[in-house]
Chain A
């Protein structure tokens, strides 16, 4: 018997591994965020987190491979707006990502994306996707912070 978790899926879309997909996914999710009632500031934070995550998926995960896609889902539950972004790359371990705030990394050209997601969202979860890839879940609480 299926258990009703109260989750409502509002987007489930596959995108090609291109930079255009970054803009498209950001646009779609911003529409969903506005519909969920987020103010302009939160929409900006959500949009930016999605952009960083999509760039990681397209550039680092799928490496622009035209045979690989990025799956983007959005669902809402009571009090949570949840975004899933899954690539078909090799996946990665969060603990292996260098800290961009460390003095040795401060002036590096790249490596701030995951950190910014953490700064702008209430939760960021990363796990290896099956059979391959990285699945990132970005969560923003709806309404006042708990």
Chain B
């Protein structure tokens, strides 16, 4: 299974629900395209819901990092929601866990943008 992305609006926060695998190729480029479109539309508050992401490789991590820096450079915030144990472990191993603002509950994550 490749990646599936759905964007919804909760208040002024764009929530991107991601499911499947974020790996080099279709998965990482689909994520890049969605985040690029959001940025191009002036979206400043993005919450990436990764609770249904079964697998992420270093290319996928690279996309998360690039999106994070790109949104931050435009004065916005990109936060993560619902990391599976494997994704969380991966971010901890790569010392990126503390770089991202990570949340377990959506309502809490939405409030944190205020």
Contacts and interface: CB of A to CB of B under 8 A. Distances in A.
Interface in A59-115: 59, 100-101, 106-110, 112-113, 115
Contacts of A113: 58
- Determine the interface band of chain A, counting residues with CB < 8 A from chain B: 20 to 34
A113 B58 CA distance: 6
Interface in B37-95: 55, 57-59, 61-63, 65-66, 68-69, 86, 90, 93-95
Contacts of B62: 108-110, 112
B94 A55 contact: no
Classify the secondary structure of B's interface with A. Answer: helix
Contacts, number: 45
Interface residues of B, number: 21
Classify the secondary structure of A's interface with B. Answer: helix
Interface stretch (A9-17, A31-39, A44-52, A130-138): A44-52
Given A100-B94, A109-B66, A19 B86 contact: no
B25 interface: yes
Interface of A: 19, 22, 44, 48, 51-52, 55, 59, 100-101, 106-110, 112-113, 115-116, 119
